[in-house]
Amino acid sequence: MSATSRTDSVTPEHGVPASVPHLGVDPFSTEFFEEPHPIHEALREAGPVVWLDKWGVYGVARYAEVHAVLNDPMTFCSSRGVGLSDFAKEKAWRPQSIILEADPPAHTRTRTVLNQVLSATAMKPLRSHFTALAEAKADELLARGSFDAITDLAEAYPLSVFPDALGLKQEGRENLLPYASLVFNAFGPPNQLRQDAIERSAPHQAYVAEQCQRENLAPGGFGACIHARADAGDITHEEAPLLVRSLLSAGLDTTVYGIGAAVYCLARFPDQLAKLRSDPTLARNAFEEAIRFESPVQTFFRTTTREVELSGYRIGEGEKVLMFLGAANRDPRRWENPDSYDITRRTTGHVGFGSGIHMCVGQLVARLEGEVMLAAIARKVGKIEITGPVKRRYNNTLRGLESLPITISPA
C-alpha cells in the first residue's frame, strides 16, 4: 500500500476531507445486491478511500486498503461494532460479542479458546464422518435428479453436520438459519431488512440463548469443549455461553452461502466442473476460489480509534470504515483475471474469510465442509444444469441465492 504525505483540507462541518471522492451508492440496496460488481468497480476506481454519502461512512474497496485496515486492529477497532452501528454511541441490538466485537487484549483470550476448539487438530477426527455424509448427500441428490441446490444441498449438507458437531439438541434447529440471517442483516444500516429482522427476532434469540447453556450441549461437541475451557479457567463461566453463541451466529449460514456459491460456480462454468472431475483433489481449492469469487461475506465495518492517514487520506477518530471484501477479492491490482472462476488459481491472500486477528475462526470447518462436498460432487456428478429461474436472497452482509433449481446426472 502506498501512503502519500499529502494532507487534505478538512471541511469544518463534517470533518470529511473535501478531496475524498464522494459516492452516492447504497451498498445495502436491492440494486446493489442484484449486481454489485459494476458498483464495486466504481468504488475501486474512485480512489483508495471513498466517502459514502448515503450512510456517512468511509469505504475501502481496493485489496491493499482492505487488507491494511483488517491488519491494523488497534487503529481500526472492532469493539465499537463491526456493523454500521457505533456501540460508543448507541446500544448494541444484542449483548456484544466477546470475540467478534472485541479488541486486544480482551479479544486475545477468547480468540485463543476458539482457535483451539476449532483447530486443525480438532478437524482431524471429523473428516471421515463429514465425508461420509457428503457422499450420502450426493447419492441422494443424484437419485432425485432435479432439486433446489440451495435448500436441498447448500443448506441441507451443513445442517446435517454442523449442529451435531456443535452438540445441539434436535429440537428447535429450524431457528438456526433465521438467527444467522438476523445477525448478518443487523450489521447493516437501519434499513427495512434490518428492522424486519430485528422485529421478528425474539423467538430466535430465545432459542439461541437457551442452546448456549452447558446442559443443552452434548458431550464432545464444540459447545461442550468451550464450556470445558471455563472449568480450566481460560474463560469465565459467564463467557462460555457467549462464545458458543458465536458459533451459532457465524458457523452455519456462512458455510451455506459458501457451498451455495461453489455449486453456483460449477453450474455456470462447466469447464471448471470438468477440471474438478478430472482431479477431485482440486475440491478444496475450488471451494476456496468460490469464496474469493462470490465473497459470501461481502462487508464488515471497523471504527477508527484515532486520527489516521490511509493512502494519503486523513480519517478522524471515531469514524466508521466499511470494507468491501468482495471488491477486494476482485481487485485487478491484486488478481489476474479477477472476474473468472479458476479452480487452479492460487487463492492465498483472498479476504473472503477476512485477514489478521479477526479472520474467520471457523475457516477450517468451512473448508472441510466445502472440500468434502465438492469432492463428492467431483467423483459422482457428471453434469450440472440450471433448470429454472435463479433467485437472489437479500441480506445486508451475506451474498447468495434464495433458489437455484438444477438437474444433475451421474458421472
Partner 1 sequence: MPSITFVHPDGRAQRIDASNGESAMQAATRQDVNGILAECGGSAMCATCHVYVDEDWLARLPAMGDDEDALLDGAAAERQANSRLSCQIQLGADLDGLVLRLPDRQT
Contact status: 1 vs partner 1 (CB under 8 A): no
Binding mask 263-292 for partner 1 (x = CB under 8 A): ---------------------x---x----
Contact status: 349 vs partner 1 (CB under 8 A): yes
Contact status: 119 vs partner 1 (CB under 8 A): yes
CB of 354 to partner 1, least distance (A): 8
- How many residues touch partner 1 under the rule CB under 8 A: the total is 24
CB of 288 to partner 1, least distance (A): 7
CB of 346 to partner 1, least distance (A): 6
Contact status: 29 vs partner 1 (CB under 8 A): no
Contact status: 350 vs partner 1 (CB under 8 A): yes
The one among 191, 363, 403, 407 contacting partner 1 by CB under 8 A: 363
The one among 19, 29, 96, 116 contacting partner 1 by CB under 8 A: 116
Contact status: 224 vs partner 1 (CB under 8 A): no
Contact status: 121 vs partner 1 (CB under 8 A): yes
Closer residue to partner 1 in complex, CB, 359/411: 359
Give the angle subtended at the CA of 126 by the CAs of 122 and 132, to the nearest 5°.
165
* CA 157 to centroid of chain Cα atoms: 18
Distance CA 167, CA 164 (A): 5
| Amino acid identity, position 184 | F
Distance CA 118, CA 116 (A): 5
| CA 72 vs CA 61, 104, 251: distances in Å | 16, 11, 25
Closer residue to partner 1 in complex, CB, 288/319: 288
The one among 6, 14, 22, 124 contacting partner 1 by CB under 8 A: 124
Phi, psi of 96 (to 5 degrees): -55, 140
CB of 240 to partner 1, least distance (A): 20
Enumerate residues 6+ apart whose C-beta is below 8 A from 25: 32, 39, 42, 43, 52, 54
Instruction: Find, among 368, 374, 400, the residue nearest to 165 by Cα.
Output: 368
Contact status: 299 vs partner 1 (CB under 8 A): no
Distance CA 168, CA 252 (A): 12
| CA 303 vs CA 44, 107, 361: distances in Å | 20, 16, 21
Alpha helices (H) along 145-233? 156-166, 176-186, 192-199, 202-211, 222-231
Contact status: 132 vs partner 1 (CB under 8 A): no
| CA 85 vs CA 274, 304, 353: distances in Å | 45, 13, 22
Contact status: 348 vs partner 1 (CB under 8 A): yes
Closer residue to partner 1 in complex, CB, 50/323: 323
Instruction: Find, among 347, 165, 126, 356, the residue nearest to 252 by Cα.
Output: 165
Q: Count of CB atoms within 10 A of residue 7's CB?
A: 12
Distance CA 63, CA 91 (A): 32
Distance CA 268, CA 322 (A): 30
Distance CA 50, CA 311 (A): 11
Q: Which of the ranges 76-84, 88-96, 119-127, 294-302 carries the binding residues for partner 1, by CB under 8 A?
A: 119-127
The one among 356, 387, 394, 405 contacting partner 1 by CB under 8 A: 356
The one among 92, 122, 177, 224 contacting partner 1 by CB under 8 A: 122
Contact status: 346 vs partner 1 (CB under 8 A): yes
The one among 198, 228, 357, 386 contacting partner 1 by CB under 8 A: 357
Contact status: 355 vs partner 1 (CB under 8 A): yes
The site for partner 1 (CB under 8 A) is made up of 115-116, 119-124, 284, 288, 346, 348-350, 353, 355-357, 359, 361, 363-364, 367, 371
